[in-house]
Structure 1
C-alpha cells in the first residue's frame, strides 16, 4: 500500500475517534477533559489532512535531465533565482482539468523575438551557421513568433505494485516546423511520451530529449548552440533510468535508451532507410553534495551513443551504404554560489549530423565517408538581483578537414552574452549579443555579429 493510502486510513480513524462521544454517565465529570481531547484530535486531523494533500501534490523528480526544455531559461541550476516552467506549472495545477483519475495540466508560453545580423545565417530567425559572403554578402533583420510553445502534462495514478511509481506523460509542440512563408509556421512535435517514475527509477516511451549531452547553454536564442558545439536533440525512444542513492551527498544516475536512427543528409536521389539495429544511447551521471532546496551540488556525467545509418545512393547501379555514428561526451554543471555558476559540455565522434554536430554534417555523400568532429561549449551565469540575470559563453564545432569536400563547412564558433529581466514570474525580457565565425572549404570565411531581443510570457 502507498504511503498516502496509509495516511488516509489513519485520517479516517482519527476522525472517527474525534467524533465519538464519551459515555453519558461520565459526561458531566469529564467535560473539560473531553473538550481538550477533541480539540487535540481536531488539530491532529487537520495536520494529517494537510500532509496528505502535500503528498498527493508531490511528484518524484527524474534526475539529472535539464528541466523543461529548453531553451535558456529551463535549466534547474543555471538560474537559481529565476522563475522556471516548473514553478509556473505548479501554479497551473490549481486550474488543472481532471478526467477520471488523471490530471491534465496545460502550460506554455508566447515567445516573440527580433534580431539583426551583419551576415545572413541559416536559419535566420535563429542561427546554426553563417553563410559565406561569397554567397550572401548582406545582413538581415528578422522578426519571429514561431517559437511560441504549448504543452500538456498528464499526471495519472500511482502504481502500488511498482513502488508507488507515478504514471504520467507529456505532449509539447511549437511552430518551428517546415513552412512555405514565415507567417505560416507549421507544428513541430517536441515531446510526446508516457512515463512511470519514482525516486528510484524511471521508464519512458515516446519522443523526448536524447540521453547524451543533457545540458543547454544559457543563450536566449531558440537553437541554443545547435550546429556550433551543443549536440543532442529530440527523437523517439524507449528509455530506462535508475537512481542509486548511495548517501545524502552522492547520487548516481544510470540511463540507457534505444532510439530511432534519423538521417540528416538527404538530397537529390539519395534515399535514407532505417538500419537493422536501433541507435543505443547511455549516460552515467553523478550528483555530489547535499541535495534539495537551497543546496548547490556538483553534477557531472559521461555519455555516448553508437549506431548506424543506411542510405541508398544513386547509380547506376543503386548501391546501399551503411555509415556508423557514435559519440563520447562529458557534461558538468556547478553552481559555485547561490548567484554564480558554470556549466559546459565536450563531445567527439563521427556522423553527428542527426545530433546537430559536425556543423549539421554527418556524411560526405560526394566521397562516401563519414565526417568526424570535436567540440563543446562553456557557459557562466550570474544573478545580479532576483529579477536580473546574465549568461556569457563560448561554443565551438570543428569537423576534421580531411573528411570534407569543397563547399562544406569546416569550422563554426560563437561567443554570446545576454541579460534577462523578470518583469513577473511569467513575463521575461531578454537582450543578447553574439559573435559568429563559420569557415568554409574553398570559400571565404563568414564573420557575423547578431543582436537579438526576446519577449516571453509563460502560463
Structure 2
C-alpha cells in the first residue's frame, strides 16, 4: 500500500472508531482484530464503488479504468467574421530522382534531351517544390444556394533558385451550387474541362507532354447535372477561359501575348455520363470534351496580323474492373496545344506561323491491394504531325511507368516509381532515359 493509501486508510479507520465509540464499549465481546478485519473489508468495498462511478466534472478518471481509444480528430475549421468557414490543408513533400540520361526540366519529367555521343550525362534531382498549402472555403449557405471555394499554392515555378522557390497559384475560385436544380457556377482559376482525368503517376508533371493534356486557367464555368436513371447521371459543362498564347517573336514586333491579343476567350465544353457497370458500388465514367480558341500573331506594328486556331477533341474513360482494380485513360487530337501541354509543349511553328497538329493519349491500370497500398502501371504518347514541325523540333514523346504508393501512416506517404522515356526529334538524334524517382509526403 502506498503512502496515499495508508493515509486514507488511517483517516477511515479513525473516523470509524470515533463514530462507533458508544457501541464499542457496549460490544466489548468483539475483539480488536475482528473489528480491523471488518473495517478493511468495508474499505475495499468503498474502493470498488469509487472505481465504478463516473469521474466528477473537473476531475481525472481513475487510472485503472479502461480508456477507449479516441477517434482521429476532424480537420480544424475556423469561422471568419463574415461567416465563411475556412479549413487549412496541404502537405510537405520531397521528390528525388536519378536519370540515366538528361530529362527536361529535371525536378519533373516532360521529355528526354537528344543524345549527342558522350554528352548524354546521368543526373539526379532533389526538390521540395511540390510542397503544397491550401484553404477550403464554405458557407454561409442559404436555403437554395451552397457556397464553396478553394485557394491553393505550391512552389513548382522554376522562377527562382532551388532553395528559395517562389509560390505559384494553382487554384483560386468560388463556386455557387443550387442543389434543387443540380446547377453550379464556378468563377476563378481551376482545372480545365478538357481531358479532366489524372494519370496514376507519382511525378507532379502528370505525364504532360507525354499523352496527357489539360491544365489550369482562369475561367467562368457553368455546370448542369441531369439524372438519367436510378444510379446514372449525366453532367454538362461549358466554360469561357483565358487564352494564354506564345510571345510574338516576329522581327520588328513588340513582344506580346498572342492569346491576350485575341478577340475572344477560349470556349471549353464537356459532357460526361457516370453509371455502375462492372462494380455496383463504383460507377464508371465516360466523357467527351473539347475546346476552341484563337491566338493573334502580329506581322508588324501597323496592325497586320494572322489568327491561328487552338482546338482539341478528347475522350475520357474511368472504369472500375473490380473493387480493387481501376482502368483509366484518355485520347486527344487537336492543334496548337502547347498551352494545354499537348504537342510535346509545341503550339505554333514560328517560321511559318502554322499550327502544330498532334494526337496521343495515355492508359493506366491501378490495383489497390489494401487501403494503404496501391500499384500502378501505364504508358502515354504524344505524336505531333512531322509536316508541321521545324528542323530539330520534338516529333514524338512516349513514357512507360510503374509505381507503388504506400501510406506508412495516414499522414506519411512513400512513393516509388520507375519510368522509361523516349523522345524523337525531327532530323536530329533521339533521347532515351530511365528515371528512378521517389517521394515522401507528410499530409496535414
**TM-score range for the pair, normalised by the shorter chain length:** 0.7 to 0.9
SS at match of 1:183: coil
Q: 187, 206, 221: which is aligned to 1:224?
A: 206
Distance 1:266 1:457, change over 3 A: farther
Q: Is the 8 A contact 2:194 2:289 kept in 1?
A: yes
SS at match of 2:363: strand
Shift of 1:198: 4.2
Structure 1 partner of 2:365: 380
1: CA distance, partners of 2:154 / 2:130? 6
2: CA distance, partners of 1:362 / 1:255? 26
Q: 240, 258, 275: which is aligned to 1:288?
A: 275
Structure 1 partner of 2:106: 124
Given the alignment of the two structures, is residue 187 of structure 1 paired with residue 167 of structure 2, yes or no? yes
1: CA distance, partners of 2:195 / 2:301? 40
- TM-score normalised to structure 1 length: 0.76
Distance 1:297 1:392, change over 3 A: same
Shift of 1:201: 1.2
Structure 2 partner of 1:133: 115
Matches within 5 A, 1:30-45: none
Q: 353, 377, 394: which is aligned to 1:409?
A: 394
SS at match of 1:413: strand
Distance 1:316 1:194, change over 3 A: closer
2: CA distance, partners of 1:355 / 1:168? 26
SS at match of 2:339: helix
Higher mean C-alpha deviation, range 430-439 or range 197-206: 197-206
2: CA distance, partners of 1:189 / 1:419? 29
Q: 300, 307, 316: which is aligned to 2:286?
A: 300
SS at match of 1:189: strand
Distance 1:413 1:291, change over 3 A: closer
Shift of 1:427: 1.1
Structure 1 partner of 2:375: 390
Listed one character per residue, the Cα deviations across residues 153-175 of structure 1 (whole Å, up to 9, x for unaligned) are: 11012233xxx221121110101
Higher mean C-alpha deviation, range 347-356 or range 98-107: 98-107
Q: Is the 8 A contact 2:355 2:388 kept in 1?
A: yes
Shift of 1:147: 0.5
Structure 2 partner of 1:112: 94
Q: 192, 209, 213: which is aligned to 2:195?
A: 213
SS at match of 2:141: strand
Shift of 1:264: 3.8
1: CA distance, partners of 2:301 / 2:173? 42
Q: 144, 159, 184: which is aligned to 2:127?
A: 144
Structure 1 partner of 2:328: 343
Relative contact order higher in (CA < 8 Å, ≥ 6 apart): 1
The runs of at least 4 consecutive aligned structure 1 residues that moved more than 6 Å come to none
1: CA distance, partners of 2:383 / 2:149? 37
Shift of 1:255: 0.4
Structure 2 partner of 1:246: 228
Matches within 5 A, 1:162-201: 164-199=144-179, 200-201=182-183
Shift of 1:319: 4.5
Given the alignment of the two structures, is residue 310 of structure 1 paired with residue 296 of structure 2, yes or no? yes
Q: Is the 8 A contact 1:149 1:174 kept in 2?
A: yes
Shift of 1:317: 7.7
Higher mean C-alpha deviation, range 116-125 or range 204-213: 116-125
Shift of 1:204: 0.6
Q: Any gaps of 5 or more consecutive residues in structure 1? A: 1-87
Matches within 5 A, 1:96-107: 96-107=78-89
Shift of 1:266: 5.5
Q: Is the 8 A contact 2:247 2:256 kept in 1?
A: no
Shift of 1:95: 3.9
Structure 1 partner of 2:318: 333
Listed one character per residue, the Cα deviations across residues 291-340 of structure 1 (whole Å, up to 9, x for unaligned) are: 99x81111010000011011234x69884221101000000001111111
Shift of 1:358: 0.2
Q: CA RMSD in A?
A: 2.1
Q: Is the 8 A contact 1:264 1:361 kept in 2?
A: no
Matches within 5 A, 1:14-53: none
Distance 1:376 1:364, change over 3 A: same
Higher mean C-alpha deviation, range 304-313 or range 283-292: 283-292
Q: Is the 8 A contact 2:275 2:285 kept in 1?
A: yes
SS at match of 1:158: coil
Distance 1:146 1:267, change over 3 A: farther
1: CA distance, partners of 2:341 / 2:192? 12
Given the alignment of the two structures, is residue 236 of structure 1 paired with residue 221 of structure 2, yes or no? no
Q: Is the 8 A contact 2:86 2:137 kept in 1?
A: yes
Structure 1 partner of 2:308: 323
SS at match of 2:202: coil
Higher mean C-alpha deviation, range 304-313 or range 122-131: 304-313
